Amino acid sequence: MAQVLKEEVRNRILEAAEKVFYKKDYRGAKLTEIAKEADIPVALIYTYFKNKEVLFDAVVSSVYINFESAFDEEESLEKGSASERFDEAGENYIHELLKERKKLIILMDKSSGTKHTEAKHKLISQMQVHIEVSLKRQSKEEYDPMLAHILASNFTEGLLEIARHYQSEKWAEDMLKLIARCYYKGVESL
């Protein structure tokens, strides 16, 4: 029974921390605000988490971005266009990510002052490499690496805009499909 209560308190702290970090960001959030939101004494937070940074890590750990496995899966597909490979491999990963959109936003937009400050840049870099691989695979022409960087930045920011303005799972799915269509086939495909 005591273990169940410990888990319940830990989960309340994590839920409260997510709300406060989402509202304020890492630097603006205070442990006293998190304790108030969780309806516990502030000292109890230290029973579960060494400090605010460890608590922040626990909040964002389930969504920490590493697209490499999704990119590898997409690139390993032998047949199909880039958009067909995305539909088969990448889209599901992004849908799962959007289910935890507040944590994604916390990680990407509200992590200044933590070891995760560069998370967005890391994601863009991973995506840039993926795009460069795709361009080499599909085109005989060689492009300036800045093109892949711009495309990676745009796609990442589009994904984050879906998360920031989330309305429903269906809406997010529709928006992601439209962005992917524009990304792979151009605005004229609409």
Query: pLDDT-derived band of residue 34, with 50, 70 and 90 as boundaries?
Result: very high
176 vs 93: CA distance, rounded Å: 12
Dump pLDDT digits (tens) for 69-118: 777 776 676 676 767 777 766 777 787 888 899 999 999 999 999 999 99
Same domain for 122 and 76: yes
Asked whether residue 36 falls in the same domain as residue 75, the answer is no
As a whole number, the mean pLDDT across the chain is 87
Structure tokens at 57: 């890590």
The pLDDT of 36-47, averaged and rounded, is: 95
CA angle 143, 92, 189 (to 5 degrees): 50
User: How deeply is 127 buried, as exposed, middle or buried, from its count of CB atoms within 10 A (0-12, 13-18, 19+)?
Assistant: buried
Whether residues 135 and 100 share a domain: the answer is: yes
* Domain co-membership, 96 together with 157: yes
Domain, as residue range, for 126:
64-189
Looking at the structure, tell me whether residues 112 and 185 fall in a common domain.
yes
Question: Looking at the structure, do residues 50 and 37 belong to the same domain, yes or no?
Answer: yes
For residues 28 and 77, membership in a common domain is answered with: no
- The reply to whether 35 and 103 lie within a common domain is no
- Tell me: do 110 and 146 sit in the same domain: yes
Same domain, 94 and 176: yes
Q: How many domains does the chain have?
A: 2
